[in-house]
Structure formats: C-alpha cells, structure tokens
A = this chain, B = another copy of it.
Amino acid sequence: MNGKIFIIEDEPSIIQLVQHNLEKNGFIVSSSLNGNDGLKELKKFQPDLLLLDWMLPDLSGIEICKNIRKDNSFKNLPVIMLTAKGEEEDKIKGLDSGVDDYLTKPFSFNELMARIKAVLRRSNPNTVSDNLKFDDLMLDRIEKRVFRDDQEIKLGPTEFRLLEFFLTNPKRVYSRDQILESVWPNNVNVESRTIDVHIRRLRQSVNLKNKKELIRTVRSSGYSLI
C-alpha cells in the first residue's frame, strides 16, 4: 500500500494515532489541525486521499469538502469523513457534498484501513487523469486542458507541448536546443529564436493578472519554470 494521505482533524491524539499507523503501513501522511490551514497545505501536499473531521474549530468538514470539489485539481480526490457519534442525521448534507465514505468515531484502525483501501480501489483509475502540477498551475494531459487556480487557460498545440515539457521537470533550466529536440517533431528545422516567440506566447497565456511570472529566462542558458 502506498500513496499520500492528508488528515484534517483537530484532535491531536487522533492525528498522532492515525498518522503513526498509516505511516507504518507505507503511506506518506501529512496533517492540519484546522480547516483553513488544511486547505492551504492540501495544495502543497497533493494527497491521494483526504481524511476529514466533521467538526473543526473554523470550517466544518462539509464546507471544506465543497471547497475542495470546486478546485479542478481536487475534483476526484477521495474523501473519508470522520464523524462523532450522534452527528448521524447530518449525514444527508455530507453525502451531497461529495464525501466518498464515513467513519464514526470511535473507530478501530483496522476499520479505517479497510475503508481507505476500499475508497482508493474504487477511485476509478480511468477517471484519475494524470495531471502535471506546479504551483497553482495544472495541466491535464488526458483532457488536454490547463488551469491556473481553476481558471482555464487556452493554449495552442505548441504552447501546450512546451508547457507540458517544462512541467515534467519544473525549475530545471532547458537550453533552446533541448527544447527544440523535445518539443518539436524530429527532423524539423526551426530557428532557435522561434522558441523565444513561443515562450512569449506561452507567457502571455499563462501569466494571468495578479499572478506571478511562471517562466524564468536564464540569460545565455535558456528557460525554466520558477
């Protein structure tokens, strides 16, 4: 069993217990003690599954869940909700907000483990498109779409391939020759300056207002994401 699991839960003892046991089972685990932190951390951590407490000090689990579903890159993130006993009638709301499964506290770790496995198995490999992500950028290779923070960015074919190429190794600086070899079809001959123009086009599309520059020019070396 492998995969990354994120926990949002305000009870430290539960976090400790669950995290420890999950890690013993080969998962990579991270966690937050409240909703707002959780939502931020989530993006950095890019988990394969989320364990979400129902009652949190700031946001409710429901609110978090709805929030998550709005985010394109987490549209398919499986969520298991942890509810305390007696909150059961609220379940209706929970199901509509897109929770995949429930677990009522107190629960045994085996029980949790079984649910996690089931949910991960269920999260259909077909629907999980392999996305490339970097910062607030997301490129969906299956659907051929690019988003920056949920806002779709329309790219031409070459711009798309160019961005896709950079995203396979973000931060790495590529020379114009390397870019040509990888992004252009073999045995085409284009001026290396052509890349500059395409970089400009990509920049124009990707650099939405209020967003920081994503493509760095490294003088005399090439370009990279940053």
Contacts and interface: CB of A to CB of B under 8 A. Distances in A.
Contact of A17 (B13, B91, B107, B129): B91
B110 A106 contact: no
Interface residues of A, number: 41
A108 interface: yes
A218 B104 CA distance: 46
Interface stretch (A40-48, A93-101, A189-197, A199-207): A93-101
B104 A108 contact: no
Interface of A: 13, 16-17, 21, 83, 85, 88-89, 91-92, 95, 99-102, 104-111, 114, 122, 126, 129, 142-144, 156-157, 169, 171-173, 218-221, 224
30 contacts: A13-B89, A13-B91, A17-B92, A17-B95, A83-B106, A88-B106, A91-B106, A95-B109, A100-B108, A100-B110, A101-B110, A102-B106, A102-B108, A104-B106, A110-B122, A114-B122, A126-B169, A129-B172, A142-B171, A142-B172, A142-B173, A143-B171, A143-B172, A143-B173, A143-B224, A144-B173, A144-B218, A156-B219, A157-B219, A157-B220
